[in-house]
């Protein structure tokens, strides 16, 4: 009797395990096809979302933005007008969220403001904002080949560097150098999805929350760092700077091979070893992540210098927005992303540099 009971229990257990396996396999397959819980567009695939429009309402005034903003994309998944056969002078602005301007309402992001000014000078110009939040240098070439090259633009304007600072080396490690467990984790969707839900990395609807946090200079924590600590942090960044340079060179080569003029733009942030024009608060001691504003500014200067080096070596235009945009809190709502006024200033800086280059 006991043997029969054990047999029944074993049979039932195997049946349950079989069902668990089948359900897990089905779930894994479905999550590979579509996973609404992970920010794939900013982490892995940089997926674009064509013909989408949403409105974020009731934004706190402390963020120094409009209370209600509307974000729309065209059939390409970019911000801007649909392609027009008559507008043959095509320009694409590439970059991460500082190009995308995800919390500036339609028409006020700097690429669109730049287009509005340029089209007055050349009616054949068509410019789109292809900025994609989180776009890092290792993905520039793939993004360019997949989303930009088919449009056959004459120019690509790339604002770059900032998003590479926060990377840990593992994020740039070739897959063949990863351990078996690391490869398995990268491939499987269920563990990553569970982790995303448990630790708050899931992606809500954009109209339900703001990802960027407002920066209140008066209440923001401060962090003192010795010059030695800052130099050590910069030294640890050197391997990543080499990767960044190699990735940028690949993009420059791809543009050249396709008769596209690449225009590099330095990145500007509020943080730096000086005081805010408006509040007179020391921007160098403000805490930003694990370091302070002075360290973050010096790290970004390393990336901007690398962009300048690539531009010089390849005889490409380089626009130093970082040097021309004042350390003024009216231009940044979180220390990194532009306010409407900041985006307007950036568009004016870029226009001043390229108006004779890109217009016919």
**Amino acid 304: pLDDT:** 98
Q: For residues 174 and 283, is the Cβ–Cβ distance under 8 A? A: no
Domain housing 302: 75-185+211-358
**Amino acid 20: pLDDT:** 82
Is 4 among the domain residues? no
Q: For residues 118 and 125, is the Cβ–Cβ distance under 8 A? A: yes
Indicate the number of domains in the chain: 1
In three-state secondary structure terms, 171 is helix
Is 102 among the domain residues? yes
**Amino acid 66: pLDDT:** 72
Give the mean pLDDT per block of 10 residues along the chain (360 residues): 67 83 82 61 63 79 69 95 92 96 93 97 95 92 96 97 71 56 73 63 41 81 95 94 97 98 98 96 94 96 98 98 96 93 97 92
**Amino acid 176: pLDDT:** 56
Q: For residues 241 and 131, is the Cβ–Cβ distance under 8 A? A: no
**Amino acid 13: pLDDT:** 82
**Amino acid 184: pLDDT:** 75
Contacts for 277 with CB less than 8 Å, ≥ 6 apart: 326, 327, 328, 329, 330
CATH of residue 284's domain is 3.40.50.1110
Instruction: Tell me the Ramachandran region of residue 96: left when phi exceeds 0, alpha when psi lies from -120 to 50, beta otherwise.
Output: beta
Is 29 among the domain residues? no
Instruction: Tell me the Ramachandran region of residue 27: left when phi exceeds 0, alpha when psi lies from -120 to 50, beta otherwise.
Output: alpha
Both structure tokens of 164: 């590479």
Contacts for 171 with CB less than 8 Å, ≥ 6 apart: 136, 138
pTM score of the predicted model: 0.79
Burial class (CB in 10 A: 0-12, 13-18, 19+), 169: exposed
């Amino acid at each position: 009797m006991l043997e029969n009971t054990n047999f029944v229990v074993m049979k039932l257990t195997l049946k349950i395990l079989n069902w668990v396996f089948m359900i897990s396999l089905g779930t894994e397959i479905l999550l590979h096809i579509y996973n609404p819980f992970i920010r794939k567009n900013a982490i892995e695939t940089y997926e674009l979302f064509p013909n989408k429009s949403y409105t974020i309402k009731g934004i706190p005034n402390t963020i120094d933005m409009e209370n209600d903003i509307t974000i729309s994309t065209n059939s390409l998944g970019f911000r801007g007008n649909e392609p027009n056969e008559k507008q043959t002078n095509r320009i694409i602005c590439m970059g991460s969220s500082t190009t995308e301007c995800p919390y500036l309402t339609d028409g006020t992001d700097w690429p669109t403001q730049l287009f509005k000014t340029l089209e007055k000078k050349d009616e054949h110009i068509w410019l789109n904002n292809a900025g994609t939040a989180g776009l890092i240098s290792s993905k520039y070439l793939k993004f360019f080949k997949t989303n930009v090259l088919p449009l056959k633009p004459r120019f690509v304007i790339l604002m770059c560097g900032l998003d590479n600072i926060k990377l840990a080396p593992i994020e740039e490690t070739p897959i063949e150098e990863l351990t078996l467990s690391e490869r398995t984790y990268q491939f499987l969707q269920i563990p990553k999805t569970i982790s995303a839900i448990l630790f708050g990395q899931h992606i809500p609807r954009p109209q339900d929350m703001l990802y960027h946090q407002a920066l209140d200079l008066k209440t923001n924590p401060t962090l003192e760092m010795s010059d030695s600590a800052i130099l050590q942090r910069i030294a640890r960044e050197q391997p990543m700077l080499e990767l960044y340079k190699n990735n940028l060179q690949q993009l420059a080569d791809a543009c050249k091979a396709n008769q596209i003029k690449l225009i590099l733009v330095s990145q500007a942030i509020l943080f730096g070893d000086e005081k805010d024009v408006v509040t007179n608060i020391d921007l160098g001691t403000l805490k930003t992540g694990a370091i302070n504003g002075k360290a973050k500014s010096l790290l970004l200067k390393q990336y901007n210098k690398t962009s300048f080096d690539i531009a010089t070596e390849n005889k490409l235009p380089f626009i130093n927005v970082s040097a021309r945009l004042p350390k003024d809190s009216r231009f940044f709502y979180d220390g990194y992303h532009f306010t409407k006024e900041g985006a307007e200033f950036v568009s004016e800086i870029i226009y001043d540099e390229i108006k004779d280059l890109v217009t016919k």
